[in-house]
Chains A and B, each alone.
Chain A
Amino acid sequence: MNLYQDVIIAGFGGQGVMLIGNLLAYAGMEQGLNVTYIPVYGPEMRGGTANCTVVVSSEEIGSPIIHRPKSCIVMNRPSLDKFGPRIEENGLLILNTSLVDLELAKGLPVKVVPIPVNEIADSLGNARLLNMVALGAYVNASGVMPLQAVQGALGHVISSHYKHLIPKNAEALQAGADYKP
């Protein structure tokens, strides 16, 4: 069976969008799939917007840069303005409703999964887990790969110094996947 999924993950610098992009790509690789990951960021040291594109495919990947993605994880308002209209028709939008008003995405011809990732991360005890919550929601909604595959790849992106945080991150991924709007 041919599998092909691409996703743009976008937000503020500091929200961890690059990290979950990397994580998803590593997990794809461990599943034996071809993957590409390309980060896009500006020259500013902090405060800028950042996004990355991940392509996961059972075939050879043509272009690592996607203009009209099949899915998008949007973590803030500027990202919705920029990428929302570019998502393919009937595509998938994971929307961080902690920071973005759901109403703003109503007109888009896509399936929207609203999820308040900041609040969920807070309830798990660490606000910085928000990226994992968002990725969990994406993996569940897209079905691109089993959530266990992503959880299993955490060791690749979390440095050995922070190894003790892996279970908590796995839990955050699960919380995102389990969330029912």
Chain B
Amino acid sequence: MSAPAKKKRKLMFALGNEAVAEGALIAGCSFFAGYPITPSTEIMEIMAKRLPQTEDGVFLQMEDEIASMGACIGASLAGRKAMTATSGPGFSLMQEQIGYACMTETPLVLVNVMRGGASTGLPTNPGQGDVQQARWGAHGDHPIIVLSAGDVPECLTMTVTAFNFAEKYRTPVILLLDEVTAHTREKIEIPAPDEFQIFNRLVPSMPPEWYKPYEETVRGVPPMPPIGSGYRFHVTGLIHDKLGFPTSRPDEVKGLNERLFRKIDRFFHDIQLVDRYETEDCDHLVIAYGSVARSAKLAVRQARERGVKAGLLTLRTLFPFPRIHVEPLLRHCSKILVPELNMGQISREVKRVNNGRVQVRTINRVDGQIITPSQILKEIS
């Protein structure tokens, strides 16, 4: 992404949370509704300050997280790029409407800064305990995109990516950070807005009377007009037909459910993002995400210095699980290590893909502290 004519980039000493807000504004976010909660509060604070300074930005502090999600869904249906940010307890409250956004194919971005522990847990310590909740928290079978970020520059780029995926695929996108990523301050260069490719949702080009809002299209994602633009459409969480009205006709039910999954499944190659480090010839593979990936990178570098053929696969996309990137590596690795700040939520995905082929070990740290490079190094050398 290094622009040929390098424009003057803004240098910032920024928190992960600040980078998220910066990324959202670059992506064109013009609506934020939320309820403050540590360790995500700075995202909300910055959006509260910055959105009113933009041309049509709207910021709302809501009465709780349930209302926040509702407001974001409404804003998105009205044509805006909407975002909310929360942490553990708030994320639980948002689950029902994540399902609603999936069913109604409403694009939005939800940032969940993971803290340690269940319930109120450890508000000021990191954890990665919401990984499977992000995938399966909303009830009913539904597809969803879950992304992660591990350092400050990545917070910015992954937020832009989250908006792009939401708009491209008409789906809610969950971005998972952890407390360490969110509260680490680092030097970052803010890329110029034109260095990013920004996607906007497809709007219908046919006359309003021809428009069928939930019809299968060649591109797989139906176009979406903003409410009030002359196109009539009905929005419901019930299983609906092509016009958006409730149905229980088995063929229509099947059609909708399968289309919702197909919409994401056929773009796996675009959605499943990973970063490879020294994986070409590696024998001992580390699979990590979030702040842990950062520790893992240093550990792999140190292991290489000691002559161990170590490599790192950093998962930027957690769900749909990037199987297409993990599988080829299983051919030449003999050991896999999955360090994470939970009792084993991504390692179960790795084991599923691995299917018993190579040895999979885990480091599971749940004491509110981060996994250090030395802890990983000890396991791989």
Q: Which residues of A contact B (CB under 8 A)?
A: 22, 25-26, 29, 34-43, 61-65, 67, 156
Those of B17-73 within 8 Å (CB) of chain A: 38
Contact partner, A62, options B11, B123, B186, B297, Cβ 8 Å: B297
Nearest B-chain residue to A65, judged by Cβ = B370
CB pair B185–A34 under 8 Å, yes or no, is no
A-B pairs with beta carbons under 8 Å apart, 30 shown: A22-B185, A25-B185, A26-B13, A29-B13, A29-B187, A34-B186, A35-B185, A35-B186, A35-B187, A37-B184, A37-B185, A38-B183, A38-B184, A40-B124, A41-B124, A42-B124, A43-B38, A43-B122, A43-B123, A61-B186, A62-B294, A62-B295, A62-B297, A62-B301, A62-B373, A63-B298, A63-B373, A64-B180, A64-B184, A65-B180
CB neighbours of A38 from chain B (8 A): 180, 183-185
Interface residues of B toward A: which range?
20 to 34
Query: When the two chains form their complex, are residues B187 and A63 in contact, meaning their CB atoms are under 8 A apart?
Result: no
Q: Are B186 and A63 in contact (CB under 8 A)?
A: no
Please report which residues of chain B, range 319-335, place their CB below 8 angstroms from some CB of chain A when the two chains form the complex.
none
Q: Is the CB of B372 within 8 A of A63?
A: yes
Q: Cβ of A37: which chain B residues have Cβ within 8 Å of it?
A: 13, 184-186
Q: Show the binding face of B for A, using Cβ within 8 Å.
A: 11, 13, 38, 122-124, 180, 183-187, 294-295, 297-298, 301, 370, 372-374
A26 → chain B closest CB, angstroms: 6
15 additional A-B pairs beyond A34-B187, A35-B13, A62-B295, beta carbons within 8 Å, are A25-B13, A26-B13, A29-B13, A35-B186, A36-B184, A36-B185, A37-B184, A42-B124, A43-B123, A43-B124, A62-B297, A62-B373, A63-B372, A64-B186, A65-B180
Chain B nearest CB, measured from A5 CB (Å): 15
* A67 with B295: CB separation less than 8 A: no
Chain B residues with CB under 8 Å of A35's CB are: 13, 185-187
Chain A's interface: helix, strand, loop or mixed, by majority?
mixed
Across the interface, which residues of A come within 8 angstroms of B297, CB to CB? 62
With A35-B187, A62-B294 already in contact, the answer to whether A67 and B372 are too (CB < 8 A) is: yes
Contacts of B295 in A (CB 8 A): 62-63, 65
A64 CB, min distance to chain B CBs, angstroms: 5
- Residue of chain B at shortest CB distance from A39: B183
CB nearest to B187 among chain A residues: A29
Chain B residues in 8 Å Cβ range of A36: 184-186
- Complex CA–CA separation, A179 to B287 (angstroms): 49
Separation of A29 and B295 alpha carbons in the complex (Å): 22
Contact B294 A64 (CB under 8 A): yes
